[in-house]
Amino acid sequence: MDTEIQALVDQLDPERDYGEFSYHEIVDGCLDGRFVIKPGDPVPVLRNKGKSMRGTGRTLELAKPRERKHFVTRFEEYATNDFEVAYNSLMDLVKKRDVKAVMYFMDRVMGKPRETRDVASSEMMATFIASLAGTRMAQVEQPEPKVIIDATDYREA
């Protein structure tokens, strides 16, 4: 008996669901050569006539982390080194009242708006836009709610 196969068999979980086979049938099949057993993650990979079996692990090739591309690393280095230039360019566009730049900047500063209106955020946005336009903005007034009176409440005297 091969010690590598025995070591892989020892990693099998007796409580795991192996489909149509029991744990003992899987162990016997691996030891006598009916099933193929290979290293896997988190448990060994089981094959029956070339087909994957239920309860098998992932192959180690699929489990290993993906390799980072060289150009991604270089791009991140450039982005880190040139951050000041990019930020200053964005702020120049914001000062020139470029609407897309202002929207991008505000999304980054305050976060994307939620589905419901956040009064504080909308007031901050209005104040910011007004300051860019060079105007003074009065304090936001909350209008009095309209009261609808039902005409049936009044009785003629």
pLDDT tens sequence for the chain (157 residues): 578 888 888 888 888 888 888 888 888 988 888 888 888 777 788 888 777 777 777 665 654 566 667 777 787 888 788 888 888 899 999 999 899 998 888 888 887 766 555 556 667 777 777 776 665 544 445 556 555 555 555 555 4
Contact 30, 22 (CB under 8 A): no
- Cα distance between residue 73 and residue 9, in whole Å: 41
What is the predicted pLDDT for the residue at 146?
Answer: 59
Structure confidence at residue 40 (pLDDT): 79
Residue 95 has what pLDDT? 92
Q: What is the pLDDT of residue 92?
A: 93
3-class DSSP assignment, residue 48: strand
**80: its two tokens:** 């880190």
d(CA 22, CA 19): 8
Specify the length of the chain in residues: 157
For 139, residues 6+ apart whose C-beta sits below 8 A from its C-beta are: none
pTM of structure: 0.37
Tens of pLDDT, residues 28-46: 988 888 888 888 777 788 8
pLDDT at 22: 87
- Residue whose entry in the numeric block shows the structure tokens 């929207």: 103
CB 6 within 8 A of CB 21: no
> What are the sequence ranges of the domains in the chain?
3-63, 84-133
